[in-house]
C-alpha cells in the first residue's frame, strides 16, 4: 500500500466520514422510532454539526482522493438534511391525524430512562389514545384529499408508534409489577387500534393516484 493511499485513508475527511457513521449508528439504535420529532431533531443536529466540520476543512490543500471524499460526503450530508426537512414538512401536514402521537412518544422516552412508571396513569393514557385513534379512523375513512406522499409518510408514522409501544411493553411486562397488573389489556387494545389504523392508511394508499402497482412492482 502506497504512502499516498495511507494518507488518503487517514485523512481528515475520511476520519470525519468514519466518525459520522459511528455517531449515526449510535443515534439510530437509541432513537429508533422512525418519524418521531425527537429522533428527527437529534439527526438534524448531528448532520448540521458534521456539515460545519466539513466546511472548516481546507479543500484546496486536500489530495485528489480526499477531495472526492469531501464532495461525496458533503453531498450525502446535504441530502440527509433535505430528507429530514421533507419528513418534518410531511409530519406537520399530518398533525391532525396523529394528534395522539405525543402521548406515545413521551411514554417511550420515559422507557429509555428505565424509570418505574405510574402504571395506572399509563393505563388511562393508553385508553384515551385508543379512543382518539378509533375516532380518527372514522374521519380518515371519509377523507379523499390526502396525497400519496402523505399517505406513505403516515404509514411510516404508524409503524414507528407501534414499534415504540412494543418496546415499552417488552421492557416492562413481566418485570414491573404495576405495569404487569394495569397495562396488558390497555396495551392490547391500543396495539389493535394502531394495527387497524395502519391498515386503513394502507387501503387509502392503494386507492390513491399513484398508489397502485401497475405490474412493474414499482408503486407510484
- Give the Cα separation of 189 and 126 in Å (integer): 8
23 CB-contact burial (10 Å; exposed 0-12 / middle 13-18 / buried 19+): middle
Of the ranges 37-41, 63-67, 114-118, which one carries the lowest mean pLDDT score?
A: 63-67
For 65-117, what is each residue's pLDDT tens digit? 889 999 999 999 999 999 999 999 999 999 999 999 999 999 999 999 998 99
Cell numbers placing 75: 453531498
Q: Per-residue pLDDT for 2 more than 80?
A: no
Spatial CB neighbours of 189, under 8 Å, sequence gap ≥ 6: 126, 127, 130
How high does pLDDT run on average in the chain? 91
Residues 170, 110 contacting (CB under 8 angstroms): no
54 CB-contact burial (10 Å; exposed 0-12 / middle 13-18 / buried 19+): buried
Average pLDDT over residues 19-40: 97
For 138-165, what is each residue's pLDDT tens digit? 999 999 999 999 999 999 999 999 999 9
What pLDDT, on the 0 to 100 scale, is given for residue 132?
Answer: 98
Amino acid at each position: 500500500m502506497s504512502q499516498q493511499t495511507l494518507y488518503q485513508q487517514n485523512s481528515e475527511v475520511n476520519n470525519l466520514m468514519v466518525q459520522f457513521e459511528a455517531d449515526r449508528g449510535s443515534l439510530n439504535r437509541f432513537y429508533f422510532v422512525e418519524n418521531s420529532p425527537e429522533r428527527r431533531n437529534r439527526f438534524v443536529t448531528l448532520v448540521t454539526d458534521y456539515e460545519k466540520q466539513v466546511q472548516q476543512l481546507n479543500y484546496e490543500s486536500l489530495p485528489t482522493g480526499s477531495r472526492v471524499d469531501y464532495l461525496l460526503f458533503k453531498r450525502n450530508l446535504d441530502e440527509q438534511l433535505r430528507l429530514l426537512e421533507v419528513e418534518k414538512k410531511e409530519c406537520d401536514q399530518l398533525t391532525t391525524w396523529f394528534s395522539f402521537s405525543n402521548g406515545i412518544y413521551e411514554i417511550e422516552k420515559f422507557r429509555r430512562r428505565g424509570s418505574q412508571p405510574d402504571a395506572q396513569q399509563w393505563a388511562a393514557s393508553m385508553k384515551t389514545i385508543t379512543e382518539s385513534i378509533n375516532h380518527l379512523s372514522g374521519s380518515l375513512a371519509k377523507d379523499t384529499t390526502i396525497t400519496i406522499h402523505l399517505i406513505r409518510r403516515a404509514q411510516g408514522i404508524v409503524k414507528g408508534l407501534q414499534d415504540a409501544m412494543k418496546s415499552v411493553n417488552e421492557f416492562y411486562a413481566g418485570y414491573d409489577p404495576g405495569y404487569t397488573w394495569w397495562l396488558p389489556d390497555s396495551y392490547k387494545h391500543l396495539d389493535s387500534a394502531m394495527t387497524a389504523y395502519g391498515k386503513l392508511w394502507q387501503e387509502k394508499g392503494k386507492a390513491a393516484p399513484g398508489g397502485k402497482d401497475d405490474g412493474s412492482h414499482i408503486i407510484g
